[in-house]
């Protein structure tokens, strides 16, 4: 563990330097997110800063795979899937791509992660969980990346919980991700000078899926608890998506109907909304760590109560915002 601080410092420096370079590149190439009715920001802002996080963590994964060949196949599948997700996002940041080709690439990346998990452990449950988590979280993190600091801070909280929960190479990957996000966040919060872009938001979802699958396979906590750190995004994205589908709206198109967006648009600063979501997720992450050793029944009960409370809170906030 003595090398862990140096490992994290290296990721932080790489990500911070890479984000600075990505911002210069975006300004030169005019890769700017313009304000509009489907955006929550009011100033044209460079995008694509998430490439720095991807490169930093990817280099760490490659180094870990070379250091321990016993994990090389799984880490290779994980790294390849990450490249696919980040790559299609990078292209989309330069030239918009239709939703379905992007989803197909995401599905291939999710399959690669599932294949790697299947090749390294018996049974079909873990690969199925890997595929579903990867496909869902890649798109949720993309949907929820709409105000300053939100997607990156939520990812940092989940990754930090995984640092404390996991061991071996996956703890190192989680620690590297936390540090890389710490290098990126000063450019994105409290006032964004660059956005993650699709290259970053989708990649964060894929990275978190890999970490959560590693925690699922470790059996250190009952699996329902692993849903808690991502519950803020699951509830907001899930209910909002459901509402748009019921209204027969094009749910895959950009919009400002998520609760966090409506809250930020109600003369509440992006900082306040991001910190409120962070507080919610920090409590959820602490519950996961406290829940080590809980029975499946107890964990499922806590998870049910938590999600019912989160759903009630989401509905209450939607009502209050609509009434103003």
> Which residues have C-beta within 8 Å of that of residue 283, sequence separation ≥ 6?
none
The answer, yes or no, to whether residue 309 has pLDDT greater than 70, is yes
Counting every residue, how long is the chain?
Answer: 324
Q: What per-residue confidence (pLDDT) applies to 231?
A: 97
- Of 75, 85, 84, 83, which is closest to residue 116 (Cα–Cα)? 75
Q: What per-residue confidence (pLDDT) applies to 322?
A: 60
CB-based burial label for 259 (10 Å; 0-12, 13-18, 19+) = buried
Residue corresponding to tokens 């509830």: 235
Domain boundaries, the chain: 4-322
CA dist., res. 285 & res. 288, Å (int): 5
| % of the chain surpassing 70 pLDDT | 94
> Which residues have C-beta within 8 Å of that of residue 42, sequence separation ≥ 6?
35
Q: Which residue has the higher pLDDT, 2 or 184?
A: 184
Q: What per-residue confidence (pLDDT) applies to 36?
A: 61
Over residues 67-87, the pLDDT tens digits come to 988 889 999 999 999 999 999
Q: Which residue has the higher pLDDT, 122 or 238?
A: 238
Q: What per-residue confidence (pLDDT) applies to 246?
A: 82
Name which of 125-139, 197-211, 231-245 the model is least confident about.
231-245
Over residues 147-199, the pLDDT tens digits come to 999 999 999 999 999 999 999 999 999 999 999 999 999 999 999 999 999 99
CA dist., res. 44 & res. 138, Å (int): 25
Contact, 162 vs 172, CB < 8 A?
A: no
Q: What per-residue confidence (pLDDT) applies to 58?
A: 98
| Half-sphere exposure for 298 (CA within 13 Å, toward CB) | 9
- Of 121, 236, 108, 217, which is closest to residue 165 (Cα–Cα)? 217
CA dist., res. 20 & res. 18, Å (int): 5
Mean pLDDT of 260-265: 78
Per DSSP bridges, beta strands 45-46 and 32-33 are antiparallel
Over residues 26-70, the pLDDT tens digits come to 999 999 988 765 566 668 899 999 999 999 999 999 999 999 888
Q: What per-residue confidence (pLDDT) applies to 268?
A: 65
pLDDT tier, 267 (very low <50, low <70, confident <90, very high otherwise) = low
Q: What per-residue confidence (pLDDT) applies to 40?
A: 61
Mean pLDDT of 250-256: 71
CA dist., res. 291 & res. 278, Å (int): 20
Mean confidence (pLDDT) of the chain: 92
The answer, yes or no, to whether residue 139 has pLDDT greater than 60, is yes
Handedness of CA 295, 296, 300, 301 (dihedral sign): negative
CA dist., res. 247 & res. 160, Å (int): 37
DSSP 8-state assignment for residue 224: G
Query: What's the pTM value of the predicted model, to 2 decimals?
Result: 0.94
Q: What per-residue confidence (pLDDT) applies to 129?
A: 97
């Amino acid at each position: 563990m003595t090398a862990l601080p140096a490992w994290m410092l290296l990721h932080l420096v790489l990500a911070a330097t890479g984000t600075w370079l990505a911002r210069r590149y975006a300004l030169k190439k005019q890769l700017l997110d313009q304000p509009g009715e489907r955006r929550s920001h009011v100033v044209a802002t460079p995008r694509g800063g998430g490439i720095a996080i991807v490169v930093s963590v990817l280099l760490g994964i490659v180094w870990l795979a070379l250091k321990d060949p016993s994990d090389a196949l799984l880490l290779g599948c994980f790294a390849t899937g990450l490249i696919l997700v980040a790559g299609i996002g990078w292209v989309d940041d330069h030239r918009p791509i239709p939703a379905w080709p992007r989803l197909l690439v995401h599905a291939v990346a999710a399959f690669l992660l599932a294949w790697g998990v299947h090749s390294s452990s018996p049974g079909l449950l873990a690969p199925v969980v890997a595929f579903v988590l990867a496909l869902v979280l890649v798109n949720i993190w993309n949907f929820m990346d709409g105000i300053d600091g939100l997607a990156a801070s939520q990812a940092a909280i989940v990754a930090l919980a995984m640092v404390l929960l996991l061991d071996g190479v996956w703890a190192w990957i989680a620690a590297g991700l936390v540090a890389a996000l710490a290098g990126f966040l000063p450019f994105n919060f409290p006032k964004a000078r660059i956005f993650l872009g699709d290259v970053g938001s989708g990649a964060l979802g894929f990275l978190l899926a890999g970490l959560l699958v590693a925690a699922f396979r470790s059996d250190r906590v009952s699996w329902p608890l692993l849903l808690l750190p991502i519950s803020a995004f699951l509830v907001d994205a899930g209910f909002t998506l459901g509402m748009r589908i019921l209204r027969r709206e094009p749910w895959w198109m950009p919009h400002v109907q998520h609760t966090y967006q409506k809250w930020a648009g109600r003369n509440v600063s992006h900082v306040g909304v991001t910190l409120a979501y962070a507080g919610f997720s920090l409590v959820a992450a602490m519950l996961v760590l406290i829940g080590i050793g809980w029975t499946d029944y107890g964990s499922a009960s806590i998870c049910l109560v938590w999600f019912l409370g989160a759903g009630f809170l989401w509905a209450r906030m939607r009502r209050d915002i609509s009434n103003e």
